[in-house]
Amino acid sequence: MAGFNPYLQKSSTTLSTTPYQVTFLPANVTIKVTPEGLEHNPVGEKGSILSIAEANGIMIDHSCGGVCACSTCHVFVKQGLDSCNTPTEDEEDMLDMAPGLRRDSRLACQCIPDGSQDIVIEIPGWNRNLVSETPH
């Protein structure tokens, strides 16, 4: 599910114009992000951490479809937080409902790096989809 929430404030966002890297922990998977790659925007805000993760097979829960209406995409930005857009009041309101809130907490669907730094994201344990199904 993807879409946008017409009631949300728009954050001031600068999309990356140069390549940068996003590392997802604890899997320790590093994705090279290019400006062209941001055109493929499966879910969340364009250029968001959630969009980058989804486009590269990294699973982050996103119950509302990336429209800032839940807090299931809560992640920690362990490196590069300064290069990300400022959270809107709507994002902060949703984060207030997230478990384990920290200074580096962001909603992956709303957090958009500008590409000036490499980013390290930690996906909290409760957000990891650990379901493993065996074929029937």
Interacting residue ranges for ligand FES, rule: CB under 6 A: 62-64, 66, 68-73, 94, 107, 109
Closer residue to ligand FES, CB minimum distance, 68 or 123? 68
Kindly tell me the sign of the dihedral angle through the C-alpha atoms of 32, 48, 17, 85.
Answer: negative
What is the rounded CA–CA span in Å between residue 6 and residue 100? 28
Q: Shortest distance, CB of residue 19 to ligand FES, whole angstroms?
A: 25
Identity of the residue, 1 or 134, whose beta carbon is nearer to ligand FES in the bound complex:
1
Q: How far is CA 70 from CA 85, 97, 104, 129, in A?
A: 19, 8, 18, 17
Taking the complex as a whole, how short is the minimal distance between the CB of residue 78 and ligand FES, in angstroms?
A: 19
Residue 29: exposure state from Cβ atoms within 10 A (0-12, 13-18, ≥19): middle
Instruction: Give me the least distance between CB of 58 and ligand FES, in Å please.
Output: 14
From the CB of 65, what's the least distance to ligand FES, in Å? 6
Q: Which is nearer to ligand FES, 33 or 107 (CB)?
A: 107
In the numeric block, the tokens 């949703």 are attached to: 94
Nearer to ligand FES, 68 or 112 (CB): 68
The SS3 of residue 47 is coil
